[in-house]
Structures are given as structure tokens and as C-alpha cells.
Amino acid sequence: MSELIPLPDPSTQYHEGATFELHTHVAPPPNEDGCGRVKFTKADRAVESQPDGRLQHCSQYTVQPHSKYPSHQIILRKGLSIGLSHLRFAQVWMVECDGRTMVARFYDPLYVFDDTGAYDIFLQTRERVGTEVAAYTALSRFQGSLIPRFVGCFLAMVSAPPGLEDRFPPRSVQIVLLEFFPGESLRALGAGQDEKDEDEDCDPQRDIHFTFVCDEHKTAILDAVRLADHLFILSGVHHIDLKDRNVLLKETLPSHTAFCSSAECALQHRLSAESLITQLASQSGGEPVDYSVLTRQQIDSIPVAVIDFGSVHLVEHEIKRLNKMVTAFVERFASDGEHAPLEPTITAARLENNSRPDSEACQEKFHRSWRWSKWLPSTHDYLMSNR
């Protein structure tokens, strides 16, 4: 493989004070089969290996806005998730729009870095935008409570990097615009005073304040995250990157009541340590809880919000892809003259049951995926304590 060509620095175009005009745009529908990790064709790879190959590709994939006049103008105020990092598809900024604070996710293929240089980031960018917009539509009942409000999908015409404007025309960049959701990042909140995380994305929306949280509150908050995950799946969206950096603790007013016995806990006077899952179970009289019928008031009482839907699967599409994989697996064994050990059928009901916050499968998944997180309670086994 030929040597990778360095990409330009995003800060030359995305920086504090930069302005962009947004045109209303209809996001491409997500592909039922997904684009996965599709490799560049040999011809496209040859273009990518040229010094200005990525800009050539950007020109090739540029589409013109349908509207002559922009519907909004935004001003960049603060970078939230920016720069070149392996498969970071969006440059995320806090912006000013119509006098309000919002969050803009710029899906600019020029600044998507793939350290292999082999995969078609244009197809992947297109798929991610379509899937993210579809996810916000499917989760509309949770907007403003469990997730940010979706303002819309827009197109901006962005000039070539400085010094190349005379060689390349403006390229189109898709933008997902969201209302700003106030809150505190779980990654920052759950870290110890002397355990600062060097990850640039550890706090997507707030300055970092490292504080102590007791195990009782950690358990209640993790239960809230698991409940949110289940509600998303019930609505047809599977979040595949539901980590502490993508979850906020909602803002609450301080109370005179002490909700836990730990005086050092940052949430002692801010948040009840009683899990909503526990409350619902006690009210069900021993019957399985039907989480699909939660009221708006109950949903609003969930103390966390998920702020990043750049890495999600639509459940309907995911089921079809998984079943295709199962079919191929069974056929391979049949062609070898063997019997497949299992012939399972992946269904929505199966995914929903496995995601129930009171199920062992869900608890094991979170224990595994959050095992390095400061949010696993330290004084007892979180997995065993929730069985």
C-alpha cells in the first residue's frame, strides 16, 4: 500500500468565530444492509494516495443545496470533539444560532482520518448521517428529556483549505444541528481527583471537574443508563457506543436532604440514590415491568441523558444483517457436510428482552463494556449485586 497522505488541519477552517450558512437538507436514508467497512476501489485508492486526492474526492461527492438562500447562520463558539483522530467522523462544536446555544456536528469527509487508508470514508459518512437522523426521528418522544432536541439536518458549502481555494471549489458538508443539553459528563464526574483522563473527548459539553461519587449513587446512575438503553431499543435504536463520555448527568437544584451517607459524595444533596428500576419493580407486585408504557413524568425523572448518536444501529436493519450472518454460518456448515450447532433466529423481541435493565444479559453487557470506567462501584461487585 502506498504511503498515506497527511490530511489538512481542521482548525484552519473550524475555529472559534468561524461562520457557516446552513441550507435545509434531507439526509440520505440509511442503507438497510449498512455500509460497514467498505474498502475503496482500486481507482479511488489511487486518487486518495495523491497529495490532493481527498479534496478531489470531496469535489466529486459535492451536492448543491436545494434552497437558494440559507435558513440559518451559525457561529462556532467552543470545540467539543475536534481534530484528527482515527475514524472521528464529525467535528463537534458548540455554536450560536439565532441567538441560542446549540451543538453542530460537521460531517466533513475531508477531515475523517482512517489510519489504514483503505476504507471508503465517504460511504461511511453518508451512512452515519442518515442513521443519526433516523435515530433522532425514532426517538422523538425522548427529545428534550433523555436526548437533545433535534433541530434538523443541513448542508453548508465550505471553501477549500487556505491556499487551495483557487484550485478546488467549495465542497458540501452535512451538519446535524441539536439543541445544547446542559449537564455534567459522567466520565468527568466519576473520576477521582488524581486520576485525570487524558482523552480529549472525556467531556463533550463541559469543562472537566473531577469529583468523588459514592457507590450507592453510581449504582443508581448506571441503572438509569441501562434503562435509557432499553427504552432506545424498544423504540428501534441500538446505541453501540453507550459509554460514560456520551452520557450526561442532568442539572438539578441542590437539596437540603442528604440522599446518601457519604459526605464526600458530590451528589449527596443533588440526586436521589434510589434507582427508578427498583421503584418500578416494587410497584409491579412481582410482575415483569413493562417499560414501554412509562409516562412522560417517569421518563423525565431518569437522571441521565445520552448526547451522542453518531454510533447507532437501527434495530430493524441490525436484525436483518444479523440473520444474514446466521444464514451464511448455517450454510457454511451444511456445505461442509456438517450440522450447524445452532440455527437461531434473531428477532426484535430477543434484542428487547436481552436489553431489559433487570436482565442478566443487560447487566453483564454493561459490566463488560464499562469495566474500565470509574462508574463501576468499587466496594462490591456490581454484576452480582444486581442479580
CA distance 274 to 259: 8
Mean pLDDT, range 172-181, rounded to an integer:
96
pLDDT reading at 103 higher than 70? yes
| Mean pLDDT within 350-367 | 81
Within a 10 A sphere around the Cβ of 347, how many other Cβ atoms? 12
Distance CA 355, CA 184 (A): 25
Answer with the residue of higher pLDDT: 326 or 352: 352
- Predicted model pTM: 0.85
Q: Residues of 315-336 as b/e, b for ≥16 C-beta within 10 angstroms?
A: bebbbeebeeebeeebeeeeee
* pLDDT > 50? residue 202: no
Q: Is residue 43's pLDDT more than 50?
A: yes
The candidate with the shortest Cα–Cα distance to 121, out of 28, 56, 36, is 36
Lowest pLDDT segment from 139-148, 238-247, 257-266, 317-326: 317-326
10-179 has CATH 3.30.200.20 classification: yes
Where in the chain are the domains? Answer: 10-179, 183-311+346-385
Question: Cα–Cα distances in Å, from 343 out to 19, 100, 351?
Answer: 55, 53, 16
How much is the mean pLDDT over the chain?
83
Over range 180-196, report the average pLDDT. Answer: 68
> What does the pLDDT look like over 280-304, one tens digit per residue?
888 888 888 899 999 999 999 999 9
